Structure 1
Amino acid sequence: MKWKQIVVYLVILVALAGYYFIETAHKEKAKEKEIESKKILDIKKDQIDGLKIIHRGEKTIYLTKKNNKWIINEPVKTKVDNFALDNFLNGLVNISAQKKLNIDKKEFSKFGLDKPSVSIEFKVGDKWRTFKIGDKNPTGDTYYASLDDKSEIYMIASFQQSSLNKKLFDLRDKRLFTLNREKVDRIEVARNNTIIKVIKKKDDKWESPDAPNVPIKTEKIDSLLDSLTWLRARKFVQETDDKLEEYGLKEPSIQVVLAVQKDKSETLLIGKEKDK
């Protein structure tokens, strides 16, 4: 093959590649534009600094943000599950309409929007806005929704309804231990009147003050810490500690303490088995 033919083929190849990339970029932009056109809200999640989630017949879940940190204030004051809340906020700001219906507000009751199954109030600046989710469309996998006082009904996908239909348990921090796992330098386990204590030395090796000559495998401690720091609550029975005896926690069968230096520690009490 002559070198001139090679040059021609290379030019054609470059032209085709250029066309492909331009066409692909054009399609991607068109797709992004279509997605943006269907979005119901034109806000960023970082602009939201207050949330009220109201489920029909239940107490309002009220969250506030201060210094970029969210906290649940009502119906109980507790920490949030940051990952779960971030997913919720992403779902809210990216909510999109598969279809829009211009309906007289007097007819909203026919779509379950006079008494919505879930109502989300969110604060942007000094203004509170409201997004409501009503009944499921009987002929498709969509739900009816409305925004503020607009005379429009949006039809949103079932998975989007699911991403916003969150309860208190879904959004609260369910960790039993919240200390930074890497900074834990003391572990105590008390069981059957026996206390086992291990501390971390400067060389990251662990030892027992009661038996300093007994070698302790670091991987065993790492495995224990992983298990403890990944513990999650499956249910919150009550929000106060005034009935410890009822749950066998006044005299626990096992007590575990994790500590960071001398000024911070967390204690887990394990009582009796459920229904026993």
Structure 2
Amino acid sequence: MRFKGTLVLLIVGLALGAYVYFYEIGGGEQREKAKQAEKQVWKLESSDISRVDLVSAEEHITVVRKGEDEWTLTAPRSYEADTDEMERLAIAASNILRENIIEENASSLGQFGLDPAQSSLKVSTIDGKEYGIDFGHRNPTGNSVYAALPGKKEVFLVSSAVAETFEKKTNELRNQRVLKFKQPEVESLSLKSPKGDIQLMKDEDDQWWLTHPEKVAADSPGIRGILNALSMARVKEFFDKVPGDQSKPGLNKPFIDVRLTYGKDKAARHLLIGAERSSSDGTEMYLAKDESREDLFFVDKDLVDKLLKSHADVREKALATFQRWNVNFISLTNSKGSFTFRKTGGEWLVGQEGTRKANWEAMNAILDAMEKPVNRWIDKPAPLSTYGLDKPLIRVILKQGSRVMADCSFGKADKEGGVYAQLRGVSAVKVVDPEVIEALDKGEPDFVEASTENTEK
């Protein structure tokens, strides 16, 4: 009997728990959603909004959706719109909530600042429907704003934050991006400035290369930093005194000329930066133009500084450029002999037979040495015998399968204590620290894992 009583209590407890969960918790969430839905001024999806009108005493702004993710200002003048800002406005417009109804049939809308309205929002949808709301004065607490639907007498409250969302000036809705492009898809970049003419291309491994006057590796992280600065840059001020004038001083002969291509279709972007000016707060800024639109605008000095690069600034500082995790073969010739190393199953093995395990730290030391920054370049070298590179003391070849990733020869020391080096296929001679040689000029005992040596003995 006691067991049956316990079972009954257990069943009752489970039933009560299920009730609490499904009705009080789950049902509570559903009731809250229903309550919020009842408060909505209208029901529509932000993606269905095709046009937004913001009306105030100062101006009437009209913005029209162009395609899936583009917006265009059509009034008071035609401009490219800030897509991100317009998407935020569309989301806000689709989710306006009533707080309280103040009067269901107000005898005078004027006392609430609704006749005339202080500002209005109108939206149109892709299926031709139109919606509108008028905003009036703030209520005594200042936390809410009186509102009404056009032609209706019902006055209700909405959050003051909601009303403020739609208090925009034309320039706030204009495209604020200096240059719009998809950064990961950029394939080429050209920078022309007083510091030089820099031409860059990206290969299939996402490595950047300088292509002029000869192909040499570029500082890929540095190039990505330049592209990031361009993609993130925002307009400091718009310049509208002479709209569409492309012959403004400094733009017909730009201080900086930036060109890039991106995507499978090789879409092009072109930015001109001209004369320096002073802003109202005294900071330096530069007149600029994105050639894909009519706007003239100013950019700040920080962007200009990031674009003012010399050939040496963007050149790869490492001795050799390669993805070290892709290297699975190393050939090393030095004063101690010739050695080969193969990586199999994540382990380095010594020799062609691969019966001995290589010392992991020694392998990393070779790769580290090949990635060391150079001290300087000799771009117009004398005959290779001048540097001891006609009969190199050390040679390192890195491969991925049959593909040579780096082939570097090391010659004699220079007068300053550095060591001359040259990559196969590159005419420039590089000077590296002698510590590079210290890591490479070792004998077989240094490369073989100690435990392997002991086992063989």
Q: Secondary structure at the match of 1:50?
A: strand
Q: Which moved more, 1:167-176 or 1:108-117?
A: 167-176
Deviation per residue, 1:120-158 (Å, 9 max, x gap)? 122244443321111111234110111121111111111
Distance 2:81 2:174 in 1: 4
CA distance in structure 2 between the aligned counterparts of 1:195 and 1:5, rounded to whole angstroms? 90
- Does residue 51 of structure 2 align to residue 50 of structure 1? yes
How much has 1:214 moved relative to structure 2?
3.3
> Which is further off, 66-75 or 130-139?
66-75
What amino acid does structure 2 have at the position aligned with 1:272?
E
Aligned-pair CA distance for 1:274: 2.1
Who is 2:120 aligned against?
A: 119
Among 232, 245, 248, which residue is 1:242 paired with?
245
Q: Is the 8 A contact 1:185 1:200 kept in 2?
A: yes
Partner AA of 1:39 in structure 2: Q
| Alignment-mate amino acid for residue 57 of structure 2 | R
Distance 2:272 2:12 in 1: 70
1:200-232 Cα shifts (integer Å, max 9, x gaps): 123322111114453212211111111111111
Q: Which runs of 5+ in 1 are unaligned?
A: none
How has the CA–CA distance of structure 1 residues 226 and 32 changed in structure 2, closer, same or farther, with 3 Å as cutoff?
Answer: same
Partner of 1:91 in structure 2? 92
What is the aligned partner in structure 2 of residue 192 from structure 1? 194
With over 3 angstroms needed to count, the CA separation of the structure-2 counterparts of 1:8 and 1:253, relative to structure 1, is farther
Aligned to 1:257: 259
TM-fit CA distance, 1:10: 7.4
Superposed CA RMSD: 3.0
**Which moved further from structure 2: 181-190 or 79-88?**
79-88
Note the alpha carbon deviations across 1:87-131, whole angstroms, 9 max, x for none. Answer: 212222211111113365651111111232221122244443321
Give 1:210's aligned residue: 212
* CA displacement at 1:9 relative to structure 2: 9.2
CA–CA distance in 1 between the matches of 2:111 and 2:236? 37
Of 148, 151, 156, the match for 1:149: 151
User: SS at 2:168's partner residue?
Assistant: coil
Tell me if structure 2 keeps the 8 A contact 1:176–1:231.
yes
Matched, 1:167 2:164: no
TM (normalized to structure 1)? 0.84
Distance 1:106 1:8 in 2: 63
Question: Which of 180, 194, 198 matches 2:182?
Answer: 180
Give the Cα–Cα distance (whole angstroms) in 1 for the partners of residues 71 and 26 of structure 2. 38
* AA at the equivalent of 1:245: K
Residue 33 (str. 1) matches residue 34 (str. 2): yes
Could you say if the C-alpha distance between residues 266 and 41 of structure 1 is closer, same or farther in structure 2, counting changes exceeding 3 Å?
Answer: same
CA contact (8 A) 2:49 2:123 kept: yes
Write the letter of the residue equivalent to 1:102.
Answer: E
What are the Cα deviations for residues 161-209 of structure 1, in whole angstroms up to 9, with x where unaligned?
Answer: 1222233233332111112212211111122162111111233221111
Deviates more, 1:95-104 or 1:112-121: 95-104
Q: 1:219 to 1:104 in 2, by over 3 A?
A: same
Matched length: 272
Distance 2:190 2:158 in 1: 51
Q: Which residue matches 1:228?
A: 230
Q: 1:256 Cα deviation (Å)?
A: 2.0
SS in 1 for 2:278: coil
Look up the match of 1:18.
18
State whether structure 2 residue 241 is matched by structure 1 residue 268.
no
Distance 1:30 1:81 in 2: 37
- Which segment is superposed worse, 182-191 or 210-219? 210-219
Normalising by structure 2, we get a TM-score of 0.53
Decide whether the 8 Å contact of 1:120 with 1:132 is kept in 2: yes
Structure showing greater radius of gyration is 2
Q: Between 89-98 and 68-77, report the one with greater CA deviation.
A: 68-77
Structure-1 residue corresponding to 2:134: 132
Tell me which amino acid in the other structure corresponds to 1:220. G
Q: Classify 1:265/1:65 alpha carbon distance in 2 versus 1 (closer, same or farther; 3 Å).
A: closer
For the Cα contact (< 8 Å) 2:179–2:269, is it kept in 1?
A: no
Query: 1:67, CA displacement in angstroms?
Result: 4.3
Measured against aligned partners, the alpha-carbon deviations of 1:231-253 in whole angstroms (never above 9, x if no partner) come to 1113212272427535x434333
Contact 2:44–2:94 (Cα < 8 Å) also in 1:
yes
C-alpha distance 215-104 of structure 1, shift in aligned 2 (>3 A) = same
SS at match of 2:77: coil
3-state secondary structure, aligned to 1:95: coil
Q: Which protein has greater RCO, CA pairs closer than 8 Å, 6+ apart?
A: 1
Taking the aligned partners of 2:230 and 2:8, their CA distance within structure 1 comes to: 66
Q: Retained in 1: the 8 A contact 2:251–2:272?
A: no
Contact 2:52 2:63 in 1 (8 A): yes
The answer (yes or no) to whether the contact 1:50–1:123 under 8 Å persists in 2 is yes
